Homo-oligomer: A and B are copies of this chain.
Amino acid sequence: MITELNNPQSVDYEFLLQDAAIHASLMREGELSSVALTQQVLSAIDQLNPKLNCYFAVDREGALAAAQASDARRQRGEVLSAIDGLTVAVKDNIDVKGLVTTAGLGLPENTPVAQRDSFVVNKLRRAGAIILGKLNLHEAALGATNDNYHHGRCINPHRGGFTPGGSSGGSGAAVAAGLCAFALGTDTMGSVRIPASYCGVSGIKPTRGAVSIGGSRILSRRLDHIGPLARAPGDLSLILPLMAGYDPGCAQSANVLFEQWNPNPAELVIGYADVTQGLGVTESVKSAYTSALARFADAGAQQRRQDLQSLDCASARRAGLMLCEVDLFVDQQPLLREHPEYFSPALRKLIAYGIGKSAVDFASADRRLDKAVVKMAAWLEDCDFLVLPTAPQAAFDFCEPAPAGQADLTNMANMSGHPAISVPMGTDGEGLPLGLQIIGPHGSDLQLIALAQWFAQFMPRPQPNLGLL
């Protein structure tokens, strides 16, 4: 295996699809170098990216140089962190020094590159992460299919022609296909968790403020979060603490303390929802969700039903969308005025809707989201964690229209700021992955990861269909 890894032309996908923690362990034991691993990943990108279209840009030289530096550090016994030498790919609305940040817009080739790393990329770089490149996303991160007007569709590694979800579709696809150990996504209404769910990987939207959004393109300052995706939920516990930290340069950043205790499912009260009506949940998801809840019950967890319908998801969704449309315009105003052609007609239409609104409409929409805060707080007063499907459906064919309520189960955690994780909960009848979402109190990010790890032991890891693409 190690020998194969030294030959960059031969890619061992079974190896690449293993947990990042396993690669880290092999490096610790001197059985794997970061250079060998990075070369393998770069070769896999060469092979698969033409089909998946998940990478916009790959910094081959930078990555290999960083891998060499990591190996040299390791030789000297100066390992920087648990992810030193592991690869990270970055959604292309987050700045990476020396690379263009398109935010999924149709920017021209000669667009200036970012002059500095975003806060979070800087932190990861200082932790020894190998920054591979930039990932495809739904245009402006506003939409959940990743059918990008300018850059093309990103393909779900589980099924050709199917959406990986969005807006962090490139992040979900790259992780699922083994084309990085970790990917960074942004999550404004569910954009980390939905692609995690559709692509059969794990992803977390951290507690609001815990991970700075400084150096990312704004969709909505209130709703935006940056979060990591990885193949195994446990891998998230390696990277998330390295991403967190107060950033005085970002108005949305806060000093969030992550709770350090480990939840015992037997002692928990789990909140769940009646998904049989009003939320557009498919039969496959209902069935997988019922089984998932049974796992918690079998472990001894108490269960308490919460009335999700009382939130009026559709009205909350429209309010959230308006915030995005307006805030996005404020951020992109100069570019949009000068180069409307960088924006798709569909995006221009969405923005036009937002900018036609009044200050009172905007403040009312913002206040509409406050209702979601109070609802979520009430549910989390009544139970320890809320367990829901991540998305009401599995990935779908790009030829089908996107369901309106795609983000209705995820966006409430953006509105309230609570942390929320998505972990695979099996597959539907056609073998497409489904996701279970766990939402917890502010600062319970590491508990969410621990619970997802506990749950993952019962679930076979969804295997991508790399050969069939």
A interface, CB within 8 angstroms of B: 221, 248-252, 254-255, 257, 322-323, 326-327, 329-330, 333, 354-364, 366-367, 369-371, 373-374, 377-378, 380-381, 442
Q: Contacts of A374 on B, CB cut-off 8 Å?
A: 248-251
Extra pairs beyond A329-B363, A357-B359 (10, CB < 8 Å): A221-B370, A248-B374, A248-B380, A249-B374, A251-B370, A251-B373, A255-B442, A327-B367, A358-B359, A359-B361
Contact of A367 among B221, B322, B371, B373 (CB under 8 A): B221
Complex: A1 Cα to B330 Cα, angstroms: 65
A-B contacts, 13 of them at CB < 8 A, read A221-B366, A248-B374, A249-B377, A326-B363, A330-B367, A354-B359, A355-B359, A355-B360, A356-B359, A358-B358, A358-B359, A359-B361, A362-B363
The CB with the most chain B CB atoms within 10 A, among A248, A354, A369, is that of A248
Considering the complex, give the chain B residue whose CB is closest to the CB of A214. B374
Which 8 A-B residue pairs are closest in the complex by CB-CB distance?
Answer: A251-B370, A248-B377, A251-B373, A359-B362, A357-B359, A326-B359, A362-B362, A326-B363
Q: Contacts of A360 on B, CB cut-off 8 Å?
A: 326, 329-330, 333, 355
Complex: A249 Cα to B371 Cα, angstroms: 9
Closest beta carbon of chain B to A209's beta carbon, Å: 10
| Contact (Cβ within 8 A) B359 A322 | yes
Contact of A363 among B330, B377, B442 (CB under 8 A): B330
Complex: A251 Cα to B329 Cα, angstroms: 26
Considering the complex, give the chain B residue whose CB is closest to the CB of A322. B359
Complex: A251 Cα to B368 Cα, angstroms: 11
Contact of A248 among B221, B333, B354, B381 (CB under 8 A): B381
Complex: A323 Cα to B83 Cα, angstroms: 44
